[in-house]
Amino acid sequence: MSSEIWTEKYRPNKFEEVVGQEEIIKRVKSLVNSLNIPHLLFAGPAGTGKSTLALIIVKELFGLDWKESYLELNASDERGIDVVRQKVKDFARTKSISKVPFKVIFLDEADALTREAQQALRRTMENFTNTCRFILSCNYSSKIIDPIQSRCAVFRFKLLEKKDIEKRIKFIAEKEKLEVDDKAIETIYESSEGDCRRVINLMQATASISTRLTAELVSTIISEAKPKDVRVVLDYALAGDFLNSREKLLDIMLKESISGQDVIKAIQKEIWNLSIEPEVKVRLTEKTGEIEFRLVEGSDEFIQLESLLASFVLAGQGKS
């Protein structure tokens, strides 16, 4: 089953089923119960429930006939001014026939709209308030122009905490008849970084191999550098053995097909587990950030990572 089908199959239909955003749910629920919501702006990281909450709001407002009074547009695909002038305006100007006196337009990834389209949207939001409400979803509210933000009630979503991810994992495991041990939950959470959508994709991929999800199996699917392997690389470097450190690093990258940026992230996490002075950890973290920037700019992965290992060797020798 694809992740989109799975998500649709078990998509929450009630506010109580959304995890990790209790304060937002409480405020939005009171607005929906009054049957008179303002324009809404949902801002926050991916996979935290913005699109799902928008759908719940619409279903709560319109019931079984929600599709007739709801228009969803993905602004990353349709982000020009023509979309606002045609699709959005045509839908917004017609009156709703349901008990709720307005329709709802959901603009997903609204921060991808051009500034010209946002200016046109500003006027549309103002002119058709009586017949239509807008729900905008974005990752970065700073990319939404101030006139639109001032017309909306802004809700800022946060990354899901471990207890929220664990609750969702156990729900999925129960529905799909999977066995998930505690270490696997920990591994899934660390890999997801609070993104529930990534949790679902990772569980689906792992479950295609076995119905018993273990930390080792999940790590195989994640395809990222294992902490113990990275620790060996760093221990060699801090001990002054640059050649063995370099050989182990190349072994990780070539045999396990790990990218340079993934290695950098693993190193950054492992630095704080090393038995070195806090000041040295800070300097090495700064150097790691510098190397990561160079990789993003297109520098050679092996050369830059060897340079980073050389910094660890010097740090191990007490040199700056």
Tell me the C-alpha distance between 266 and 269, whole Å: 5
Containing H/E element for 72?
Answer: strand 70-74
Residue range of the domain that includes 298: 227-316
Tell me the average pLDDT across 35-41: 88
Task: Kindly state whether residues 138 and 14 are assigned to the same domain.
Answer: yes
Q: Is the model more confident about 203 or about 81?
A: 203
The chain-wide mean pLDDT, for the chain, equals 83
- Residue 155 is predicted with a pLDDT of 92
pLDDT greater than 70 at residue 6 = no
Tell me the average pLDDT across 49-66: 87
The pair of structure tokens assigned to 299 is 């520098």
| Span 221-267, pLDDT tens digits | 776 667 778 888 888 888 888 999 899 888 888 877 778 888 888 88
| Span 96-128, pLDDT tens digits | 777 888 889 898 888 888 888 888 888 888 888
Split into its structural domains, the chain has a count of 3
Tell me the C-alpha distance between 188 and 176, whole Å: 17
Task: Kindly state whether residues 21 and 129 are assigned to the same domain.
Answer: yes
pLDDT greater than 80 at residue 32 = yes
Which of 33-42, 88-97, 114-123 has the weakest average pLDDT? 88-97
Cα distances (Å, whole numbers) of residue 12 to 48, 92, 162, 185, 240: 13, 27, 19, 21, 54
Tell me the C-alpha distance between 93 and 312, whole Å: 63
Tell me the average pLDDT across 284-295: 91
Contact 292, 264 (CB under 8 A): yes
> Looking at 132, 156, 180, which one is the last position of a domain?
156
Task: Kindly state whether residues 12 and 152 are assigned to the same domain.
Answer: yes
Cα distances (Å, whole numbers) of residue 89 to 47, 84, 124, 181, 305: 29, 6, 7, 51, 52
pTM above 0.75, yes or no: no
Tell me the C-alpha distance between 255 and 257, whole Å: 6
- Residue 75 is predicted with a pLDDT of 63
CATH (domain of 94):
3.40.50.300
Tell me the C-alpha distance between 50 and 12, whole Å: 12
Backbone angles phi, psi at 108, to 5 degrees: -80, 145
For 74, how many CA atoms within 13 A lie in the half-sphere containing its CB? 3
Confidence at 13, pLDDT banded by 50, 70, 90: low
The separation between the first and the last C-alpha atoms of the chain, rounded to the nearest angstrom, is 53
Task: Kindly state whether residues 236 and 212 are assigned to the same domain.
Answer: no
pLDDT greater than 80 at residue 11 = no
